Every structure is written in C-alpha cells, then in structure tokens.
Amino acid sequence: MDPSGYLYTIATVGMTFAGLSVLTMILRQLLGGQITKFDSFVTRTWIQLGFMTTFGSILPPLLLLAGVPAPITWRISSGAMAVILGSWALSFPRRRYAVNTSRLPLQVVIYALAMDLFALALAANAIFVSGELLAGVYAAAVTAILTGAGMLFLFTFVRWYDATIGHDQPKM
C-alpha cells in the first residue's frame, strides 16, 4: 500500500493548523486581549508543530520520488524527524521558561513527555524496526505530533478565551 496519500493529507492538515494558529492570535486581539511575549511564543510553537508535521509528511514521498528504496526512505525520514522532534521537545521547557517563568501546566508537561517518547519511537524506527512496519510506525508518529499539537492548541485556546472574556491574563 502506498502511504503517500495519507501523508499528503496530514501535510495539508499541518499547514491548515499553522494557519489557524495565526488566525487565533488575530481573534485574540479582536476580543481585546493583549499580545504578550508569551502569546507570541505559544503561536510560534503551534506554527513550528504545523510545519514540522508538514515536513515529516512530505519527506518520504520526496525521497521515494528520488529513487531511494522504500526501507531506506522510512529509516532516513524517521532519523531526520527523530532529531527534529527530539531537539524541539527537549528544548521546549527551556524556551518556554525564557518567556514565562510560571510552572508548566500538567497538560503541557504530559505533551512534552509524549513528544519525547515519539522522538524515541522515530529513532527506534530508524534503527531497529523491521521493514514491513517502518511506514506504519512513521505515519503514526507524524500523526501523533499533529494530534498532540491540536490538543495543546485546544487547551491553550480555552485558557485564552476564558482569560479574555473575564479580562484576566492567562496564568499559563
């Protein structure tokens, strides 16, 4: 089975997610919310996750078009995404602390740890997983990045909305 159609769909959703992130900031401003350094960080985080998902979704079809054999394509793609996602997830708490020194909400801690685990799964896929499972593990990991980003988006959006309607700044 050719997974390109599925990956292209995930790429489209990833780009849509990045665009929605920008629209959310515009909506926040229209509702009277002030855009802080932290708000910009959160929006940048969503955009990064959208582009990361998109890149992860278009890399395997590109390598296949270049004539790279399928097992090697999945291993290269898994290794590249493991490095990208792993470095992003491991540096997330430090980057977030630079703009907001309050404790991370439990949901955000769980999300960051989940992304670390998916980076490890991608690394394992690049090195250990047998050939017939490579595409499935890869597609599941890229989908998990987008799914987790969507959950993080909803969590943050609800907190922003409640703070904007109540005219308080969110305590994230």
pLDDT at 54 over 60: yes
What pTM was estimated for this model as a whole?
0.88
Average pLDDT over residues 12-38: 85
Q: What whole-number distance in Å separates Cα of residue 76 and Cα of residue 88?
A: 18
Query: What's the chain's length in residues?
Result: 172
pLDDT band at 94 (very low <50, low <70, confident <90, very high): very high
Q: What whole-number distance in Å separates Cα of residue 4 and Cα of residue 142?
A: 13
pLDDT at 34 over 90: no
> Is the Cα torsion angle 108, 109, 112, 118 positive or negative in sign?
negative
Tokens (6 digits) for 145:
């990045």
Question: What is the distance of C-alpha 51 from the center of its chain?
Answer: 8
29 inside domain: yes
Tell me how crowded residue 124 is: count the other CB atoms within 10 A of its CB: 14
171 inside domain: no
57 inside domain: yes
Closest CA to 160 of 70, 60, 31, 68: 31
The amino acid at residue 55 is F
Number of domains comprising the chain: 1
Q: What is the DSSP letter of 129?
A: S
Closest CA to 6 of 138, 132, 118: 138
Q: Which domain holds residue 38?
A: 4-165
Which residues neighbour 48 within 8 Å (Cβ) at sequence distance 6 or greater?
88
pLDDT score, position 172: 54
Q: What whole-number distance in Å separates Cα of residue 128 and Cα of residue 160?
A: 42
> What are the tens digits of pLDDT across the range 99-158?
999 999 998 999 999 999 999 999 999 999 988 999 999 999 999 999 999 999 888 878
